[in-house]
Amino acid sequence: MKKKPIGKKYALLLSNFKHIFRLMKLTFLLFLLCISSVWANNANSQTTKVNIQAENAHMKDIISQIESQTDYLFVYNYENVDLSQKVSLKASDISVAEVLKILFKNSDVVYAVEGNNILLMKNAAEMKKQQNGKKISGKVTDSNGEAIIGANVVEKGTTNGTITGIDGSYTLNVSPSSTLQISFIGYLTQEVSVQNKTSLNVTMKEDLQALDEVVVVGYGTQKKEVVTGAITSLKSEDISLSPTANMASGLAGRLSGVIINTRNGEPGADESTIRIRGQNSLVSNDPLYVIDGVVRSEEGGIFSRFDPEDIESITVLKDASAAIYGSRAANGVILITTKRGKVGKPTISLSYNHSFTQPTRTVKMANSASYARAQNLANEIRGISPRWTEDEIQKFADGSDPLHYPNTNWYDVVQKNWSGQDKANIQLTGGMDNLTYLVSAGFLDQGSPYRESSMKNRMYNVRSNIDAKINDYIKLTFDLFGKNTDRTLPYNGQASGNGMYSWVGLSAPTAHAYWPGTDYPTNQGWGNYNPLVISTGDAGTTASKTWVFNGQSTIDISIPWVKGLSVKGSIAYDYFGQNYKQFEDVYYVYSYDESTNTYEKLKGHTSAPQLFIEEKRTEYINGNVRVNYLNTFADVHTVDAFVGFEQNQTKSTALDGKRTNFPTGTLEELNAGDANTQTNHSSSSKTARRNYFGRVLYDYDHKYMLQFQFRYDGSHNFPSGKRFGFFPGISGGWTISRENFMKDITWLNNLKLRSSWGKMGNDYLKDSFQYLTMYTLADGSVFNGTQYSGISQANVPNPNITWEKAETYDIGLETGFLNNRLTFDFDWFKTNRKDILTKRNASIPAFTGLNLPDENIGETENKGVEMMLGFRDDPTKDFSYSVSGNLTYARNKVIFKDETPMAEIYQKEEGKPIGAALRYEAIGIYSEADIANPDVPKRPGTVAGDIKIRDVNGDGEINSLDQVRQDMTNIPDITYGLNINLSWKQFDLTLGFQGQARAVFYLREDWVNPATSNGGANILQWWTEDTMTPDNPNGTKPRLGTAYGIGGTTFTQISANFFKLKNAEIGYRIPKDIISKVGLSRARVYVSGTNLFSIDHTSKFGIDPEVANGGWDLNPMRLINLGVNVSF
């Protein structure tokens, strides 16, 4: 018989009775727990399995996962049981009992399992203590006064505790005589006696042994203690020190193994040369830049113009650790990680600084009196009548007749003493458990270094980084970045504004800039060039506007049924656009007729206006997917591995046009020019790469580490069959200090030996698709007396072209002493570069007319050592300090390059540094006795006062066979840095020194081959002092005039060694009790400086040893910054 259903009323009653019966049993268990403070597990909890995936999640979220996967029901009192504590737990196929044990191990929660019910309650003894105790509250902050969110505050010896909130505050009931124990990851645990206090604020000190616990590596992160490669990293607080327009310049001397030289001081062009462990290739030595996991081009100054306020960390991969990036990693890899949002209330941070800028030095050119004497001496030696009388020279010197005998310092005329720079950044950060965000905007405005100029260089950038946690298994990120630069500079007939400085240096000091008492520029400059007029923009302008956009999105999926398994994919889109406009206008100078007191208007060096416009566009798409696995077995065996696939594509287009004969300088549009003078060009290209890569790291108890990584790269630059290359890397580490036999050595905290080998590639080609036959349009075909257009072959293809390969070796030692307050690291490295793509331009004569392709024939070697030494301590509560130094010695040489077969061994590039110059060796100055002595080798036409050249081959003659390949270049063999940080109470001081040795600098020979004719160019003041003349036969400098022998000699080779105070900053953190009154949570003011002083060998010329082009480019800038950082 079919049973009748029970009525709803009785069913509800029965259900309530069952629930009441359960509660009665649970109440009895509560009574037992209050007496004995023990927990009990039933057998079912030991066998029921669950999968838990939680990272920084609340306890209640893990409880929810257990309830959703089992029949268990958790019962507890919300008022007594605190489940807000955050924990991380990732486990598959684990028993419920084990989860409970882990979850509540260090908490004040006890539990009991009865059937399918799990009872939670606070430890009875702790409850009683709190009821009978006192309330204490306070705030936990770091040394900078920033709130520490999530710090554990526990009554020592108990499980009574809490965590700090989003403002760092806490409240806790404790026993009157108890001691608080405060702890947080990365900081030393502190114990503070409560005594009779009701309020207790705590400042946490950094745990030196835990600092930099996690570092960014290729496609992920690793704990620093298990890293087996040679890497160098900087954190955000070090990167943002002494803000400069060129972020890379501010890092000089801070990154071991990284050579950074600023070659230029012009706003917008003040880029840096960056080399990792020196030079390795005959072709390209630029490192690879990876931003938030995506390889990005330096086009648009993506690295050097990065806003330092947006950077979380910079990591440099210097050995086989770079092999994961394969084909473009041979010159090292620089990883930039941007800041992201953090859980907490919205926080706005604002940084602003105003800088006073000036070139580090002004070139010391001859004044008018020295210049006039130099010209007279040059004329005398050449048998020409003096140009100036002694009376006239005296007037130059005393300024008694400035109209006729001026003394014009063209650098002072054109260049400001100081110019301004403004830099600002504002950030909004915050978020909840499932969503965090960071939005920032930056602005840079560099003022013109010229006195009268509309020159400008402005940059605007905006960034948005959003992290979303969909659930415990899926995470998403959405990153956007945009940048716009707007740069205008005077047109000067050359591609860079620095070209104007060549006219400044060439202009004679005996010429006026303006005719006295008028605003008429003179025609007395070199070739009618008047640098002052050019600097104003009256001669035209060069304007460049660029747009950069980066968009990136990632998805990270944890596979719940396989512990440690996840899949991560990303897609990135980059856009670069540039509009370039160069307008050369007619400007006017004036001649003066004193007899009539009239001025005649003359055209400058330009006869007709002309306009050149170019537009460039580049789009880059990159996508990759990775399968990751991370798991630890038996607490000591850790496997961290992934495999991935990546593909990217680049599209570029360019279009330009030019016209001349514009009717007026106000119409800067192409259609206003003469159509008969127009030219135009266009180009487009598409490139692609496909990559397979992976890495596996095995770590045994952080004691023994072994890592293998690979990349299988395909590049568009090579033909089928040569297109893919395999680039592996292997490294290992042994943390000796973790061995049992080292346990008793308490003063040694870290002793780690590591070694690596890797193979990397370089697919850089100046001209792509060299394996294909190229054709060009030509008009040279003639048939029956008529010329026809057609096509002709433009190259000789190379079907065998393939990868340039680099093998790297590294052996490193890392040490830490005295609780890691004292650290010392040492690395030996070596790189063998083979199959370098270069042309056979020496062994095949140029008269053949062949446009030869690149071939894989070059070979180089680079080796050296790195050392880092650091000490840091906080001897008192209010005072802490750190001192660190780094030194790198990297020496490269050419092993093979196609050279003239019959060249002398001392002239060959083989065995010498890459890029070494070929020069005559100056050994003095020829005297009259040398000229009269036939046994003294000399060139025909040599006279007393010329540079004396060494007869290298001993044939009694001086000719091209006596040129010698030099042993140094402008890239130093030795670089070093010294960094000092001091903090006392609210004050902090930072000093950063940079130095280099074994580098050379070549003076411009325009300045050292002086006074060749009347109206000649100016010369260095240094050159006019103690020159050899008939009256001064023992002079230390060659004779003035044509001075045969100066050009191409080592006489103009100057040591580029220097020691600089690169950065200095002193700051003051305004106390919280002051700034809180105006709603601020943090405020700091500071004064800083960059390029403050230098000890070197080029100061006598007024030239910075880092500058390019022998001093013709603008010297790097000195900055004095006044800045403020606030948060609210």
pLDDT in tens, 516-546: 989 899 887 666 778 888 888 888 888 999 9
| Model confidence pLDDT, tens digit, residues 1039-1079 | 877 545 566 889 989 999 999 999 999 999 999 889 988 98
pLDDT tens digits, 633-675? 988 999 999 999 999 999 999 999 999 998 877 788 899 999 9
Asked if 639 contacts 661 with a C-beta cutoff of 8 angstroms, the reply is no
The amino acid present at 807, given as its one-letter code, is E
Handedness of CA 284, 286, 292, 297 (dihedral sign): negative
CA distance 761 to 415: 45
How confident is residue 147, by pLDDT bands cut at 50, 70 and 90?
A: confident
Q: Is 80 exceeded by the pLDDT of residue 584?
A: yes
Measured distance CA(198)–CA(1087) in Å, rounded: 39
* Residue 316 scores a pLDDT above 50: yes
Whether pLDDT at 952 is above 70: yes
**Average pLDDT score over residue span 677-689:** 91
Give the containing element (helix H, strand E) for 38.
Answer: none
| SS3 label, residue 32 | helix
Assigned CATH topology for domain 235-340: Ferric Hydroxamate Uptake Protein; Chain A, domain 1 (2.170.130)
pLDDT digits (tens, 9 = 90+) for 439-472: 999 999 999 998 887 788 999 999 999 999 999 8
- Is the pLDDT at 341 greater than 80? The verdict is yes
Kindly report the backbone phi and psi dihedral angles of residue 135, in degrees, each rounded to the nearest multiple of 5, phi listed first: -90, 135
pLDDT for the residue numbered 203: 85
Residue type, position 333, single letter: V
What one-character-per-residue DSSP string does 710-746 give?
EEEEEETTS-TTTSEEEEEEEEEEEEGGGSGGGTT-T
Query: Residues 6 or more apart from 447 whose CB is under 8 A from it?
Result: 267, 357, 419, 420, 421, 456
Q: Which CATH code is given to the segment(s) 23-122?
A: 3.55.50.30
Percentage, residues of the chain above pLDDT 90? 49
Which amino acid, residue 576? F
Using alpha carbons, list the distances in angstroms from residue 587 to 101, 449, 1015. 85, 21, 22
Instruction: Give the whole-angstrom CA distance, residue 410 versus residue 404.
Output: 17
For the four alpha carbons of 99, 103, 108 and 109, in that order, the dihedral sign comes to negative
Under DSSP, the state recorded for 71 is: S
Distances (CA, A) of 836 to 229, 353, 853: 25, 46, 13
Which amino acid makes up residue 499? G
How big is the chain by its Cα radius of gyration, in Å?
36
Which candidate, 500, 611, 622, 521, places its Cα nearest to that of 570?
Answer: 622
Q: State how far the Cα of 1096 lies from the Cα of 1103, in Å rounded to an integer.
A: 10
- Amino acid 168 reads G
Superfamily of the domain at 126-203: Carboxypeptidase-like, regulatory domain (2.60.40.1120)
Mean pLDDT of the chain: 85
Instruction: Write down the domain spans for the chain.
Output: 23-122, 126-203, 235-340
Q: Please report the pLDDT score of residue 126 as a whole number.
A: 52
Residue 86 — very low, low, confident or very high, per pLDDT cuts 50/70/90?
Answer: confident
pLDDT at 832: 96
Q: How far from chain centre, in Å, is Cα 998?
A: 24
- Per DSSP, the residues of 142-184 read -TTS-B-TT-EEEETTSS-EEE--TTSEEEEEE-TT-EEEEE-
C-alpha span between 611 and 585 (Å, rounded): 9
On whether the CB atoms of residues 737 and 701 are closer than 8 A, the answer is no
Q: How far apart are CA 669 and CA 659, in angstroms?
A: 9
With cut-offs at 50, 70 and 90, classify the pLDDT of residue 178.
confident
- Of the candidates 738, 624, 697, the one whose C-alpha atom is nearest the C-alpha of residue 221 is 697
Q: Which residues face 164 on adjacent strands?
A: none
How far, in Å, are 519, 699, 1000, 1060, 1115 from residue 1106 at the CA level? Answer: 37, 44, 10, 11, 8
Q: What is the pLDDT of residues 195-226, one digit of tens each?
A: 778 888 888 877 655 444 788 898 998 988 99
Measured distance CA(312)–CA(550) in Å, rounded: 18
**pLDDT class for 570, splitting at 50, 70, 90?**
very high
What is the dihedral angle through the alpha carbons of 316, 319, 324, 328, rounded to the nearest 10 degrees?
80
Question: 787 exposed, middle or buried (CB, 10 Å; 0-12, 13-18, 19+)?
Answer: exposed
Two tokens, residue 815: 């040490």
Residue 715 has pLDDT above 70, yes or no: yes
- Which residue has 């960034």 as its token pair? 463
Phi, psi torsion values for 466, nearest 5 degrees: -125, 135
Separation CA 898–CA 856 (nearest Å) = 11
Confidence class for position 827, pLDDT limits 50, 70, 90: very high
Beta bridge partners of 689: 648, 715
**What would the mean pLDDT of 885-891 be, rounded to a whole number?**
97
Please tell me the distance from the alpha carbon of residue 237 to that of residue 250, in angstroms, as a whole number. 13
Band of the pLDDT at 30, cuts 50, 70, 90?
very low
1026 pLDDT more than 70: yes
pLDDT of residue 919: 94
- 3-state SS, residue 690: strand
* Contacts for 383 with CB less than 8 Å, ≥ 6 apart: none
Q: Three-state DSSP class for 856?
A: strand
Cα–Cα distance, 894 to 910 (Å, whole number): 5
Q: What is the pTM of this model?
A: 0.82
| DSSP H or E segment with residue 879 | strand 879-896
**Long-range contacts of range 152-155, CB-CB < 8 Å, 24 or more positions apart?**
152/181, 152/182, 152/183, 152/184, 153/180, 153/181, 153/182, 154/180, 154/181, 154/182, 154/183, 155/129, 155/179, 155/180, 155/181
Q: Is 840 exposed, middle or buried (0-12, 13-18, 19+ CB in 10 A)?
A: middle
How many angstroms separate the Cα of 158 from the Cα of each of 31, 174, 596?
A: 21, 10, 103
d(CA 906, CA 951): 13
Q: What is the dihedral of CA 1049, 1054, 1056, 1059, to 10 degrees?
A: 170
